[in-house]
Amino acid sequence: MKRREFLQSLALAAAGVAAHSPADRAAAEGMRDAAQIDPSDLTWGKAPCRFCGTGCGVEVGTRDGRVAAVRGDRKSPVNRGLLCVKGYHLPGFLYGEDRLTKPMLRLADGSFEAISWDAALDMIAERYAKVLETDGPDAVAMYGSGQWTVHDGYAALKWVKAGMRSNNLEANARLCMASAVMGFMTQFQSDEPMGCYEDFEAGDDFFLWGNNMAEMHPVLFSRILETKRQRGDVRIVDIATRRTPTSDYADLYVEIRPGTDLALANGILQQILAKGWVAESFVRENVVFQRGNEDLEEIGWGCYGAQKDRYTFADSGRDSSIEELGKFLADYTPDKVATLCGIPSAQVETLAEMYGASNRGTVSLWCMGVNQHTRGTWMNNLLNDIHLLTGKIGRPGANPLSLTGQPSACGTVREVGTLSNRLPSDRLVTKDEHRTTAEQIWGLEPGTLPAKPGYHTVDMFRALSRGDIKAIWIQTTNPWVSLPNLNRFERSPGDGRFIVVSDIYPTPTTQVADLVLPSSAWVEREGVFGNTERRTQQWNKLADPPGEAREDAWQIIEVARRMGMGHLFPWGEDEWHEAMYEEYRRFSLGTGKDVASYAQLKETRGMRWPVVDGKETAYRYAAGRDPYVTKSKGVHFYKAKKYGEKAAFWLRPYQPPAEVPDDEFPLWLTTGRVLEHWHTGSMTRRVRQLYQAVPKAYVELNRSDAIDLEVGTGDRVRIVSRRGALEATVEVDGRGKPPRGTVFMPFFDESILVNQLTLDAMDNISKEPDYKKCAVRVERVARG
């Protein structure tokens, strides 16, 4: 026996080996049937996750044109191989038994009948052409999504704005990110954060403002937790109106009354000024002061009186100064703020001290609590203000870092500009030179793009209900679940309006449609998303769509062709993705928002703009890091031409919410998401594991309120607001714990439509609705 064979036989003897006895082996073999899928049989490709704005990289394993597995992409700098439970269950959302596979037309009796793509596309083209002819471009509309790919958004932008010459193009990001957009625009004249995810390792103190990050941006939150584990001195502050799983990890939990975040932020500014923590030379060099319209009568909330049908308030600014700021802040001493917020005044001082400490890197993080707010733009301004006043901006570990909810709210809605007042790369329809650029790139007759902004989302659906909009096409979103004050938006078939809905499953929105189109989703088509940290990510088509499902962008292009607008989409049937993206990219080049080339996106795990000479930018406005900065050190807000390339600090007061609890409706209602479900649940509820974890919406009650009502977990209650009523099951001391006087409900459940209760009050500047604050009462339902 040779030495090697000898060793092998030794090893075999040592192995001894229960697992390799013939009986065991046969049993194990039995578990593998002929059709089983072996991981090594799969073809793997890269894609960003379909769900949240974190933008985790995943590897997608496919076989026979179907997705069979995903795993976290270890090459992605976003998540380094880790995902959250939604990401791990991505393949499941594609394969619900009721996927839409054919265009469906509603018949007179209300039922749906399958029709051909040709018939469907012809019908849309004819109906839109007819409305354009009889009622003009203000009567047509398209409503899309932050889950649209860049291609979908760009096709929609071109069809609506360049083709139909209408600005009635909106997207559901109006309901989630518009206040952040307006915050950045009013202060830096350029949307999107200067910071990036590297702040999670570089920062010392993390302030979460109204932001349940452990459930909503889980992978990012675990990056902070890991930093905290490695470096003991890291602190997390959770400022919220309800205890969430995030609060459990916080060093300091600050529970404020709904809407008083404005007062708290001003209280922090007051202390920074009073205690001399202002970064004086930074402010002198980089900041100007502005003050806007604060007339409560004039501003309103967008939901009462004449504003009930149309909300068009426009803010106006005037020059202010740090001296005026000092006087303005006299109303925000720790004592006054403490009384308003319902917290000890020492807490205000502690928070200010943390922000004011010049040796600590401070990162502010926020999402829906701040954005879905009747003064959401103001609140965004105040958070950016704190960072401006302390000079904690534009360097690693010190930034106001607004988090985005949807996978491409940034890449598509905010960058492509699929909103009623925008054009690509920070351009506005109201600016002549911006329209001129668009006309040049699109080859249009000069002066023909419309300068008047279209309806913002809530007004768009109000106009549809009134009949002022006669044709609307809704893609990749579910407004009949997600709009506030839903009962306003009832429609009956045959009411003279034409509603087209493209989606992948039946939803309450497809139920009100006249024509339903089956879309391909995620890796069933090629696409590009852009995440929170300005990272543009591309993926190839990796799987086949079911039946006749087609991608949203294709649907739009085909309709445009049938309306005689084919010249806007001059690309071949198959190879148009790169060409279309490269045309869009021309808008971005030279603006400081330069997106990467398609070729580079294909090769990388995404690139953060501005991308110049093939190099990405981690920190915007930072000397030595951002290629557009001409200064040799510090920061340079080069986009803010209006303010002499400085950032604008806005003085913004506290104003009360649109509706506050009273005797008749004594409780606050706040709404939101849960970890397991994405938005209105039409995708995640079709994944067994996610549905079985959180099957139905419920109402979280404080224990004391539950005792008063004599109810407990599992009991049924009726929740009533001025606008509607519904029943739900109580949960006490579950994952979320509202304070006494507040109830919480998630909005993912189409059978318990919490938006029948919410109020269509809006932010005065961004026109983003406030889903977080309205008044309700809760009644016990007799046990049956």
Partner 1 sequence: MRALLFCACLASLALVSGAARAEPTSAAERAARRLFDGAPPAIPHDSAVGACVSCHSMAGREIPSMGYAPASPHARTAGIAAVPCKQCHVEKRTDEVFVGSTFRGIEQDLRSGKRANPLAPPVIPHMVFMRENCAACHTGPAARSEIRTSHPERANCRQCHVERVTTGVFAPSRETSAQGR
Task: Please state whether 679 falls in left (phi above 0), alpha (psi between -120 and 50) or beta.
Answer: left
Which of partner 1, ligand SF4, none does 216 bind, CB closer than 5 to 8 A by kind?
none
* Cα-based torsion angle of the residue sequence 467, 451, 174, 287 in order, rounded to the nearest 10 degrees: -150
Catalytic residue among 146, 405, 527, 736: 405
CA distance 758 to 485: 5
- CA gap 533, 193 in Å, rounded: 7
54 binds, among ligand SF4, partner 1, none (CB under 5 to 8 A by kind): ligand SF4
**Active-site residue identified among 46, 86, 158, 593:** 86
Mark residues 620-659: x for contact with partner 1 by CB under 8 A, - for none: ----------------------------------------
The one catalytic residue among 187, 189, 347, 406: 406
Which helix (H) or strand (E) element contains residue 459? helix 457-466
Residue 675 interacting partner from ligand SF4, partner 1, none (CB closer than 5 to 8 Å by kind): partner 1
**C-beta of 14 vs 306, nearer to partner 1:** 14
Give me the least distance between CB of 35 and partner 1, in Å please. 8
Residue 79 or 307 with smaller CB distance to ligand SF4: 79
Query: Taking CB under 8 A as the rule, which mask of x and - marks residues 52-91 in contact with partner 1?
Result: ---------x----x-xx-x--x-----xxxxxx--xx-x
Identify what 602 binds: ligand SF4, partner 1, none; CB under 5 to 8 Å per kind: none
The active-site residue, picked from 177, 303, 367, 745, is 177
Is residue 49 a contact residue for ligand SF4 (CB under 6 A)? Answer: yes
- In the structure encoding, which two tokens stand for residue 521, read together? 């989703």
- The option from partner 1, ligand SF4, none interacting with 599 (CB < 5 to 8 A, set by class) reads none
Q: Does 146 bind ligand SF4 (CB under 6 A)?
A: no
Query: What's the closest the beta carbon of residue 236 comes to partner 1, in angstroms?
Result: 11
Q: Does 15 bind partner 1 (CB under 8 A)?
A: yes
Catalytic (active site) residue 104: no
Residue with tokens 């139905």: 696
Q: What are phi and psi of 777, to 5 degrees?
A: -125, 155
Token pair 């949960």: residue: 731
Name which of 138 and 524 has its Cβ closer to partner 1.
524
3-state SS of 507-559?
A: CHHHHCCCEEEEECCHHHCCEEEECCCCEEEEECCCCCCCCCCECHHHHHHHH
With CB under 6 A as the rule, give the number of residues binding ligand SF4. Answer: 13
Q: Please state, in angstroms and rounded to a whole number, the distance separating the CA atoms of residues 463 and 138.
A: 10
Nearest CA among 238, 265, 260 for reference residue 373 = 260
Active site annotation includes 164: no
Neighbour-count burial for 27-36, b at 16+ CB within 10 Å, e otherwise:
eeeeeeeeee
Q: In angstroms, give the least distance from the CB of 415 to ligand SF4.
A: 18
Based on the shown chain and the rule CB under 6 A, indicate whether residue 523 belongs to the binding site for ligand SF4: no
Distance between CA atoms of residues 254 and 243, nearest Å: 9
Find the binder of partner 1 among 65, 75, 95, 339 (CB under 8 A). Answer: 95
With binding defined as CB under 8 A, does residue 712 bind partner 1? Answer: no
For the chain, what is the radius of gyration of the CA atoms?
27
**Residue 318 CB-density burial (10 A; 0-12 exposed, 13-18 middle, 19+ buried):** exposed
> Counting contacts by CB under 6 A, is residue 338 touching ligand SF4?
no
Q: Which is nearer to ligand SF4, 52 or 254 (CB)?
A: 52
Among 137, 144, 146, 218, binds ligand SF4 (CB under 6 A): 218
433 binds, among partner 1, ligand SF4, none (CB under 5 to 8 A by kind): none
For the chain, the maximum distance between any two Cα atoms, rounded to a whole number of angstroms, is 98
Would you call 81 exposed, middle or buried from its count of C-beta atoms within 10 A (0-12, 13-18, 19+)?
A: middle
Q: Is 52 in the site for ligand SF4 (CB under 6 A)?
A: yes
Whether residue 405 lies in the annotated active site: yes
491: phi then psi, degrees, rounded to nearest 5? -140, 150
**Residues 573, 179: Cα–Cα separation, whole Å:** 38
> Cβ distance 497 to 466 under 8 Å?
no
User: Which entry of ligand SF4, partner 1, none binds 466, CB below 5 to 8 A by partner kind?
Assistant: none
- On whether the CB atoms of residues 533 and 217 are closer than 8 A, the answer is no
Q: Name residue 363's beta-bridge partners.
A: 206, 399
Query: Is the CB of 77 or the CB of 634 nearer to partner 1?
Result: 77
**Which residues are within 8 A (CB) of 391 and not within 5 positions of it... i.e. 6 or more apart?**
279, 282, 283, 358
96 forms part of the interface with partner 1 (CB under 8 A) = yes
Do the strands 535-539 and 607-608 form a parallel or antiparallel pair, or are they unpaired?
antiparallel
User: If contact means CB under 5 to 8 A according to the sort of partner, which of partner 1, ligand SF4, none does residue 82 touch?
Assistant: partner 1
Helix (H, G, I), strand (E, B) or coil at 717: strand
Which residue in 368, 563, 745, 774 is the catalytic one? 368
* 721, 754 Cβ separation under 8 angstroms: no
Catalytic-residue membership of 271? no
Cβ proximity to ligand SF4, 195 vs 218, nearer residue? 218
Stretch that binds ligand SF4, among 53-61, 626-634, 722-730, 735-743 (CB under 6 A): 53-61
Residue nearest to ligand SF4 (CB): 87
Q: How far is the CB of 55 from ligand SF4 (least distance, A)?
A: 6
Q: Which of 51, 249, 581, 771 binds partner 1 (CB under 8 A)?
A: 249
Residue of 42, 441, 568, 623 that binds partner 1 (CB under 8 A): 42
Mark whether 2 is an active-site residue: no
Judge whether 336 counts as a catalytic residue: no
List binders of ligand SF4 among 80-99 (CB under 6 A).
83-84, 86-87
Q: Which of 261, 676, 731, 768 binds partner 1 (CB under 8 A)?
A: 676
Question: For helices 150-157 and 552-562, what crossing angle results, to 10°?
Answer: 20
Sheet holding 647-651, edge to edge: 318-320, 287-291, 647-651
Backbone angles phi, psi at 30, to 5 degrees: -60, -20
Q: Does 55 bind ligand SF4 (CB under 6 A)?
A: yes
584 lies in the site for ligand SF4, by CB under 6 A: no
**219 touches ligand SF4 (CB under 6 A):** yes
Buried b / exposed e across 120-152, counting CB within 10 Å, b at 16+?
bbebbbebbbebbeeeebbbbbbbbbbbbbbbb
- Interface with ligand SF4 (CB under 6 A), residue from 54, 149, 591, 742: 54
Minimum Å gap between C-beta 51 and partner 1 is: 13
Task: Restricting to residues 198-237, name those near partner 1 by CB under 8 A.
Answer: 214, 218-219, 221-222, 225-226, 228-229
370 vs 687, beta carbon nearer partner 1: 687
**Applying CB under 8 A, what is the total number of residues that bind partner 1?**
69
Per-residue CA distances from 544 to 64, 65, 288 (Å): 9, 5, 54
Residues of this chain, 267-306, that bind partner 1 according to CB under 8 A: none
Closest to 170 (Cα-Cα) out of 520, 461, 600, 390: 461
Contact footprint for partner 1 (CB under 8 A): 8-9, 11-12, 14-20, 24-25, 27-29, 31-32, 36-40, 42, 61, 66, 68-69, 71, 74, 80-85, 88-89, 91-92, 94-98, 214, 218-219, 221-222, 225-226, 228-229, 245, 249, 675-676, 685-695
Contact footprint for ligand SF4 (CB under 6 A): 49, 51-52, 54-56, 79, 83-84, 86-87, 218-219
**Catalytic residue positions, numbered:** 86, 176-177, 368, 405-406
